[in-house]
Structure 1
Protein backbone atom coordinates (compact mmCIF):
# COMPACT_ATOMS: atom_id res chain seq x y z
CA UNK A 1 0.00 0.00 0.00
CA UNK A 2 2.83 2.25 0.54
CA UNK A 3 3.39 2.14 -3.11
CA UNK A 4 -0.14 3.39 -3.74
CA UNK A 5 0.40 6.24 -1.29
CA UNK A 6 3.67 7.09 -3.02
CA UNK A 7 1.89 7.14 -6.34
CA UNK A 8 -0.81 9.43 -4.95
CA UNK A 9 1.83 11.77 -3.41
CA UNK A 10 3.75 11.85 -6.67
CA UNK A 11 0.57 12.59 -8.61
CA UNK A 12 -0.29 15.38 -6.17
CA UNK A 13 3.21 16.82 -6.46
CA UNK A 14 2.93 16.64 -10.26
CA UNK A 15 -0.35 18.54 -10.13
CA UNK A 16 1.17 21.12 -7.79
CA UNK A 17 4.13 21.49 -10.11
CA UNK A 18 1.79 21.94 -13.05
CA UNK A 19 -0.31 24.40 -11.06
CA UNK A 20 2.77 26.41 -10.13
CA UNK A 21 3.85 26.42 -13.77
CA UNK A 22 0.44 27.74 -14.77
CA UNK A 23 0.35 30.45 -12.12
CA UNK A 24 3.58 32.08 -13.28
CA UNK A 25 2.43 32.62 -16.88
CA UNK A 26 -0.88 33.91 -15.54
CA UNK A 27 0.93 36.60 -13.56
CA UNK A 28 2.95 37.59 -16.62
CA UNK A 29 -0.18 37.77 -18.75
CA UNK A 30 -1.92 39.78 -16.07
CA UNK A 31 0.97 42.23 -15.95
CA UNK A 32 1.04 42.58 -19.74
CA UNK A 33 -2.68 42.92 -20.32
CA UNK A 34 -3.56 45.10 -17.33
CA UNK A 35 -0.36 46.75 -16.11
CA UNK A 36 1.02 47.94 -19.44
CA UNK A 37 -2.20 49.63 -20.65
CA UNK A 38 -2.56 51.21 -17.18
CA UNK A 39 0.94 52.69 -17.45
CA UNK A 40 0.19 53.99 -20.96
CA UNK A 41 -3.04 55.63 -19.79
CA UNK A 42 -1.29 57.27 -16.83
CA UNK A 43 1.48 58.63 -19.08
CA UNK A 44 -1.09 59.95 -21.55
CA UNK A 45 -2.96 61.72 -18.74
CA UNK A 46 0.25 63.29 -17.44
CA UNK A 47 1.24 64.45 -20.93
CA UNK A 48 -2.25 65.89 -21.52
CA UNK A 49 -2.18 67.73 -18.21
CA UNK A 50 1.24 69.19 -18.97
CA UNK A 51 0.07 70.23 -22.40
CA UNK A 52 -3.10 71.90 -21.14
CA UNK A 53 -1.96 73.35 -17.84
CA UNK A 54 1.83 73.32 -17.91
CA UNK A 55 2.67 76.56 -19.72
CA UNK A 56 0.11 79.17 -18.66
CA UNK A 57 2.58 82.08 -18.72
CA UNK A 58 4.32 80.80 -21.86
CA UNK A 59 1.22 81.28 -23.99
CA UNK A 60 1.17 84.99 -23.24
CA UNK A 61 4.87 85.25 -24.02
CA UNK A 62 4.33 83.37 -27.29
CA UNK A 63 1.45 85.67 -28.23
CA UNK A 64 3.62 88.73 -27.55
CA UNK A 65 6.50 87.26 -29.55
CA UNK A 66 4.14 86.44 -32.44
CA UNK A 67 2.84 90.01 -32.38
CA UNK A 68 6.37 91.39 -32.49
CA UNK A 69 7.30 89.07 -35.36
CA UNK A 70 4.14 90.03 -37.25
CA UNK A 71 4.92 93.74 -36.87
CA UNK A 72 8.52 93.20 -37.97
CA UNK A 73 7.31 91.08 -40.90
CA UNK A 74 4.82 93.74 -41.98
CA UNK A 75 7.53 96.39 -41.81
CA UNK A 76 9.93 94.21 -43.79
CA UNK A 77 7.25 93.35 -46.36
CA UNK A 78 6.41 97.03 -46.78
CA UNK A 79 10.06 97.81 -47.46
CA UNK A 80 10.35 94.86 -49.84
CA UNK A 81 7.17 95.83 -51.67
CA UNK A 82 8.62 99.27 -52.38
CA UNK A 83 11.94 97.81 -53.46
CA UNK A 84 10.64 95.37 -56.10
CA UNK A 85 10.94 96.70 -59.64
CA UNK A 86 9.69 95.10 -62.81
CA UNK A 87 10.56 95.27 -66.48
CA UNK A 88 8.41 93.74 -69.22
CA UNK A 89 9.50 92.73 -72.69
CA UNK A 90 6.94 94.68 -74.71
CA UNK A 91 6.63 92.39 -77.73
CA UNK A 92 5.65 88.76 -77.17
CA UNK A 93 8.21 86.17 -78.17
CA UNK A 94 6.89 84.02 -81.02
CA UNK A 95 8.96 80.89 -81.67
CA UNK A 96 8.37 77.73 -83.67
CA UNK A 97 9.19 74.89 -81.27
CA UNK A 98 9.98 71.23 -81.92
CA UNK A 99 6.96 69.07 -82.57
CA UNK A 100 6.28 65.49 -83.56
CA UNK A 101 6.24 64.58 -87.23
CA UNK A 102 5.30 67.38 -89.62
CA UNK A 103 3.59 69.42 -86.90
CA UNK A 104 5.57 72.51 -85.85
CA UNK A 105 3.83 74.14 -82.87
CA UNK A 106 4.24 77.88 -82.29
CA UNK A 107 4.99 79.15 -78.80
CA UNK A 108 3.89 82.68 -77.94
CA UNK A 109 5.47 83.88 -74.71
CA UNK A 110 5.26 87.15 -72.79
CA UNK A 111 7.95 87.66 -70.17
CA UNK A 112 8.60 90.20 -67.45
CA UNK A 113 11.40 90.45 -64.91
CA UNK A 114 11.47 91.35 -61.21
CA UNK A 115 14.52 92.78 -59.48
CA UNK A 116 15.33 94.76 -56.36
CA UNK A 117 18.36 96.71 -57.58
CA UNK A 118 17.25 99.74 -59.63
CA UNK A 119 20.58 99.65 -61.52
CA UNK A 120 19.43 96.45 -63.26
CA UNK A 121 16.99 98.23 -65.61
CA UNK A 122 19.71 99.92 -67.72
CA UNK A 123 21.51 96.57 -67.95
CA UNK A 124 18.28 94.94 -69.16
CA UNK A 125 17.74 97.62 -71.79
CA UNK A 126 21.33 97.40 -73.03
CA UNK A 127 21.40 93.59 -73.01
CA UNK A 128 17.97 92.94 -74.50
CA UNK A 129 19.38 91.72 -77.85
CA UNK A 130 21.65 89.23 -76.04
CA UNK A 131 18.72 88.10 -73.87
CA UNK A 132 16.46 87.52 -76.88
CA UNK A 133 19.25 85.67 -78.67
CA UNK A 134 19.69 83.40 -75.65
CA UNK A 135 15.95 82.79 -75.50
CA UNK A 136 15.51 82.02 -79.22
CA UNK A 137 18.09 79.23 -79.26
CA UNK A 138 16.70 77.66 -76.12
CA UNK A 139 12.99 77.99 -76.94
CA UNK A 140 13.33 76.46 -80.44
CA UNK A 141 14.48 73.17 -78.90
CA UNK A 142 11.50 72.84 -76.56
CA UNK A 143 8.62 70.47 -77.18
CA UNK A 144 5.03 70.89 -75.98
CA UNK A 145 5.72 68.12 -73.44
CA UNK A 146 8.57 70.21 -71.97
CA UNK A 147 6.09 72.98 -71.21
CA UNK A 148 3.28 70.78 -69.89
CA UNK A 149 2.09 71.33 -66.35
CA UNK A 150 3.33 73.54 -63.57
CA UNK A 151 6.65 71.66 -63.36
CA UNK A 152 7.37 72.42 -67.01
CA UNK A 153 6.60 76.08 -66.52
CA UNK A 154 8.76 76.19 -63.40
CA UNK A 155 11.71 74.70 -65.30
CA UNK A 156 11.12 77.23 -68.10
CA UNK A 157 11.20 80.12 -65.61
CA UNK A 158 14.42 78.84 -64.06
CA UNK A 159 16.13 78.43 -67.42
CA UNK A 160 15.04 81.88 -68.61
CA UNK A 161 16.28 83.37 -65.32
CA UNK A 162 19.66 81.70 -65.77
CA UNK A 163 20.00 82.83 -69.38
CA UNK A 164 18.92 86.39 -68.56
CA UNK A 165 21.43 86.69 -65.73
CA UNK A 166 24.19 85.36 -68.00
CA UNK A 167 23.31 87.92 -70.67
CA UNK A 168 23.29 90.95 -68.32
CA UNK A 169 26.09 89.89 -65.93
CA UNK A 170 27.25 91.27 -63.49
CA UNK A 171 23.71 92.67 -62.97
CA UNK A 172 21.20 90.09 -61.76
CA UNK A 173 17.42 89.82 -61.85
CA UNK A 174 15.54 88.00 -59.10
CA UNK A 175 12.63 86.43 -60.92
CA UNK A 176 11.19 85.76 -64.37
CA UNK A 177 7.42 86.01 -64.69
CA UNK A 178 5.60 84.30 -67.53
CA UNK A 179 2.63 86.58 -68.17
CA UNK A 180 1.40 84.66 -71.22
CA UNK A 181 2.09 81.20 -72.60
CA UNK A 182 0.28 80.01 -75.69
CA UNK A 183 1.07 76.97 -77.85
CA UNK A 184 -0.72 76.79 -81.20
CA UNK A 185 -0.53 73.97 -83.72
CA UNK A 186 0.12 74.82 -87.38
Structure 2
Protein backbone atom coordinates (compact mmCIF):
# COMPACT_ATOMS: atom_id res chain seq x y z
CA UNK A 1 0.00 0.00 0.00
CA UNK A 2 2.79 2.24 0.55
CA UNK A 3 3.53 1.95 -3.09
CA UNK A 4 -0.03 2.80 -3.91
CA UNK A 5 0.17 5.86 -1.70
CA UNK A 6 3.39 6.86 -3.34
CA UNK A 7 1.87 6.82 -6.76
CA UNK A 8 -0.99 9.15 -5.91
CA UNK A 9 1.44 11.42 -4.15
CA UNK A 10 3.55 11.51 -7.27
CA UNK A 11 0.41 12.27 -9.27
CA UNK A 12 -0.61 15.00 -6.88
CA UNK A 13 2.86 16.50 -7.03
CA UNK A 14 2.70 16.42 -10.84
CA UNK A 15 -0.66 18.19 -10.83
CA UNK A 16 0.61 20.73 -8.32
CA UNK A 17 3.67 21.33 -10.44
CA UNK A 18 1.49 21.77 -13.51
CA UNK A 19 -0.76 24.22 -11.62
CA UNK A 20 2.21 26.30 -10.55
CA UNK A 21 3.57 26.28 -14.08
CA UNK A 22 0.21 27.45 -15.41
CA UNK A 23 -0.10 30.25 -12.86
CA UNK A 24 3.34 31.70 -13.67
CA UNK A 25 2.61 32.28 -17.39
CA UNK A 26 -0.79 33.69 -16.47
CA UNK A 27 0.88 36.31 -14.29
CA UNK A 28 3.31 37.16 -17.08
CA UNK A 29 0.49 37.47 -19.61
CA UNK A 30 -1.51 39.57 -17.18
CA UNK A 31 1.45 41.87 -16.67
CA UNK A 32 1.99 42.17 -20.43
CA UNK A 33 -1.62 42.77 -21.41
CA UNK A 34 -2.55 45.12 -18.58
CA UNK A 35 0.65 46.58 -17.20
CA UNK A 36 2.36 47.47 -20.48
CA UNK A 37 -0.61 49.39 -21.97
CA UNK A 38 -1.08 51.15 -18.64
CA UNK A 39 2.55 52.28 -18.67
CA UNK A 40 2.27 53.44 -22.30
CA UNK A 41 -0.94 55.34 -21.50
CA UNK A 42 0.67 57.06 -18.52
CA UNK A 43 3.71 58.05 -20.60
CA UNK A 44 1.45 59.38 -23.37
CA UNK A 45 -0.54 61.46 -20.89
CA UNK A 46 2.63 62.90 -19.37
CA UNK A 47 4.03 63.74 -22.82
CA UNK A 48 0.73 65.35 -23.86
CA UNK A 49 0.60 67.39 -20.67
CA UNK A 50 4.14 68.62 -21.17
CA UNK A 51 3.42 69.46 -24.79
CA UNK A 52 0.31 71.49 -23.97
CA UNK A 53 1.26 73.06 -20.68
CA UNK A 54 5.01 72.66 -20.58
CA UNK A 55 7.59 75.40 -20.35
CA UNK A 56 8.95 77.47 -23.18
CA UNK A 57 6.73 80.45 -22.46
CA UNK A 58 9.68 82.81 -22.22
CA UNK A 59 11.15 81.47 -25.46
CA UNK A 60 7.84 81.91 -27.27
CA UNK A 61 7.42 85.47 -25.98
CA UNK A 62 10.97 86.35 -27.02
CA UNK A 63 10.45 84.83 -30.48
CA UNK A 64 7.17 86.71 -30.88
CA UNK A 65 8.76 90.02 -29.88
CA UNK A 66 11.66 89.38 -32.27
CA UNK A 67 9.27 88.59 -35.14
CA UNK A 68 7.31 91.80 -34.50
CA UNK A 69 10.53 93.83 -34.48
CA UNK A 70 11.63 92.29 -37.79
CA UNK A 71 8.22 92.94 -39.35
CA UNK A 72 8.29 96.57 -38.23
CA UNK A 73 11.83 97.01 -39.59
CA UNK A 74 10.74 95.58 -42.95
CA UNK A 75 7.73 97.88 -43.04
CA UNK A 76 9.90 100.91 -42.34
CA UNK A 77 12.58 99.90 -44.85
CA UNK A 78 10.15 98.79 -47.59
CA UNK A 79 9.29 101.00 -50.54
CA UNK A 80 6.45 103.45 -50.13
CA UNK A 81 3.39 102.46 -52.15
CA UNK A 82 1.63 105.30 -53.95
CA UNK A 83 -1.95 105.12 -55.19
CA UNK A 84 -3.55 106.85 -58.15
CA UNK A 85 -7.29 106.54 -58.71
CA UNK A 86 -9.25 107.28 -61.86
CA UNK A 87 -11.78 109.80 -60.58
CA UNK A 88 -14.79 108.81 -62.69
CA UNK A 89 -15.92 105.18 -62.94
CA UNK A 90 -15.74 103.69 -66.43
CA UNK A 91 -19.20 102.93 -67.83
CA UNK A 92 -19.07 100.65 -70.88
CA UNK A 93 -21.68 98.66 -72.77
CA UNK A 94 -20.21 95.16 -73.05
CA UNK A 95 -21.08 92.27 -75.36
CA UNK A 96 -24.07 90.25 -74.23
CA UNK A 97 -26.06 87.29 -75.50
CA UNK A 98 -28.94 87.97 -77.86
CA UNK A 99 -30.51 91.43 -77.61
CA UNK A 100 -29.24 92.03 -74.08
CA UNK A 101 -26.53 94.69 -73.83
CA UNK A 102 -25.13 94.60 -70.29
CA UNK A 103 -23.49 97.72 -68.90
CA UNK A 104 -20.22 97.41 -66.99
CA UNK A 105 -19.39 100.03 -64.38
CA UNK A 106 -15.76 99.77 -63.33
CA UNK A 107 -13.72 101.84 -60.86
CA UNK A 108 -9.97 101.41 -61.13
CA UNK A 109 -6.98 102.57 -59.11
CA UNK A 110 -3.27 101.96 -59.59
CA UNK A 111 -0.47 101.18 -57.13
CA UNK A 112 3.17 102.00 -57.83
CA UNK A 113 6.39 102.50 -55.89
CA UNK A 114 8.19 104.93 -58.20
CA UNK A 115 6.95 108.52 -57.58
CA UNK A 116 7.83 109.43 -61.19
CA UNK A 117 4.93 107.27 -62.40
CA UNK A 118 2.21 109.73 -61.32
CA UNK A 119 3.05 112.41 -63.92
CA UNK A 120 3.17 109.69 -66.58
CA UNK A 121 -0.28 108.48 -65.48
CA UNK A 122 -1.74 111.98 -65.62
CA UNK A 123 -0.21 112.68 -69.02
CA UNK A 124 -1.23 109.31 -70.47
CA UNK A 125 -4.75 109.13 -69.05
CA UNK A 126 -6.44 109.61 -72.45
CA UNK A 127 -4.39 106.76 -73.96
CA UNK A 128 -5.18 104.55 -70.95
CA UNK A 129 -8.92 105.19 -71.19
CA UNK A 130 -8.83 104.58 -74.95
CA UNK A 131 -7.08 101.25 -74.39
CA UNK A 132 -9.61 100.31 -71.72
CA UNK A 133 -12.69 101.26 -73.79
CA UNK A 134 -11.70 99.07 -76.73
CA UNK A 135 -10.88 96.11 -74.52
CA UNK A 136 -13.88 96.38 -72.19
CA UNK A 137 -16.44 96.61 -75.04
CA UNK A 138 -15.41 93.14 -76.23
CA UNK A 139 -15.90 91.50 -72.83
CA UNK A 140 -18.89 89.35 -71.94
CA UNK A 141 -20.32 88.92 -68.44
CA UNK A 142 -18.87 85.38 -68.41
CA UNK A 143 -15.37 86.79 -69.00
CA UNK A 144 -15.58 88.75 -65.75
CA UNK A 145 -17.40 86.13 -63.67
CA UNK A 146 -15.60 84.66 -60.69
CA UNK A 147 -12.26 85.37 -59.12
CA UNK A 148 -10.34 83.92 -62.09
CA UNK A 149 -12.15 86.27 -64.48
CA UNK A 150 -11.40 89.27 -62.29
CA UNK A 151 -7.76 88.23 -62.03
CA UNK A 152 -7.48 88.02 -65.83
CA UNK A 153 -9.18 91.44 -66.09
CA UNK A 154 -6.64 92.94 -63.66
CA UNK A 155 -3.72 91.45 -65.59
CA UNK A 156 -5.00 92.75 -68.92
CA UNK A 157 -5.65 96.24 -67.51
CA UNK A 158 -2.15 96.23 -65.98
CA UNK A 159 -0.62 95.28 -69.33
CA UNK A 160 -2.58 97.92 -71.24
CA UNK A 161 -1.78 100.63 -68.66
CA UNK A 162 1.94 99.87 -68.76
CA UNK A 163 1.87 99.97 -72.58
CA UNK A 164 0.14 103.37 -72.52
CA UNK A 165 2.57 105.01 -70.06
CA UNK A 166 5.81 103.27 -71.15
CA UNK A 167 8.64 103.52 -70.09
CA UNK A 168 7.05 104.12 -66.66
CA UNK A 169 5.36 101.12 -65.04
CA UNK A 170 2.72 100.59 -62.39
CA UNK A 171 2.89 97.62 -60.03
CA UNK A 172 -0.76 96.77 -59.51
CA UNK A 173 -4.27 97.49 -60.77
CA UNK A 174 -6.98 97.53 -58.13
CA UNK A 175 -10.62 97.05 -59.11
CA UNK A 176 -12.51 99.03 -56.49
CA UNK A 177 -15.94 98.56 -58.07
CA UNK A 178 -17.29 96.10 -60.63
CA UNK A 179 -20.97 96.29 -61.47
CA UNK A 180 -22.77 94.63 -64.38
CA UNK A 181 -26.34 95.75 -65.05
CA UNK A 182 -28.68 94.36 -67.69
CA UNK A 183 -30.39 96.90 -69.92
Does the pair score TM above 0.5? yes
Whole-Å separation in 2 of the counterparts to 1:165 and 1:38: 70
Is 1:127 the counterpart of 2:127 in the alignment? no
Q: Which runs of 5+ in 1 are unaligned?
A: 1-22
Whole-Å separation in 2 of the counterparts to 1:78 and 1:68: 15
Q: How does 1:169-184 map to 2 (within 5 A)?
A: 169-184=166-181
Q: How does 1:132-143 map to 2 (within 5 A)?
A: 132-143=129-140
Q: Which runs of 5+ in 2 are unaligned?
A: 1-24
What is the CA-CA distance between 1:149 and the residue it aligns to? Answer: 3.9
Figure out how many residues of one structure are paired with residues of the other and give that number. 158
Give 2:22's aligned residue.
none
Whole-Å separation in 1 of the counterparts to 2:156 and 2:35: 63
Give 1:60's aligned residue.
58
Give 2:18's aligned residue.
none
TM-score, normalised with respect to structure 2 = 0.66
Give the structure with higher Rg (CA): 2
Is 1:145 the counterpart of 2:145 in the alignment? no
Query: CA 1:89–1:67 in 2, change beyond 3 Å: closer, same or farther?
Result: same
**Per-residue CA shift, 1:66-86, capped at 9, x if unaligned?**
113213323543565x82211
Whole-Å separation in 2 of the counterparts to 1:159 and 1:37: 64
Whole-Å separation in 2 of the counterparts to 1:89 and 1:133: 13
Whole-Å separation in 1 of the counterparts to 2:39 and 2:173: 58
Whole-Å separation in 1 of the counterparts to 2:111 and 2:118: 10
Give 1:9's aligned residue.
none
Query: CA 1:157–1:39 in 2, change beyond 3 Å: closer, same or farther?
Result: farther
> Which secondary structure does the structure 2 equivalent of 1:83 belong to?
coil
What is the CA-CA distance between 1:35 and the residue it aligns to? Answer: 7.7
**Per-residue CA shift, 1:40-96, capped at 9, x if unaligned?**
524522431441465x2x33122122113213323543565x822111122322222
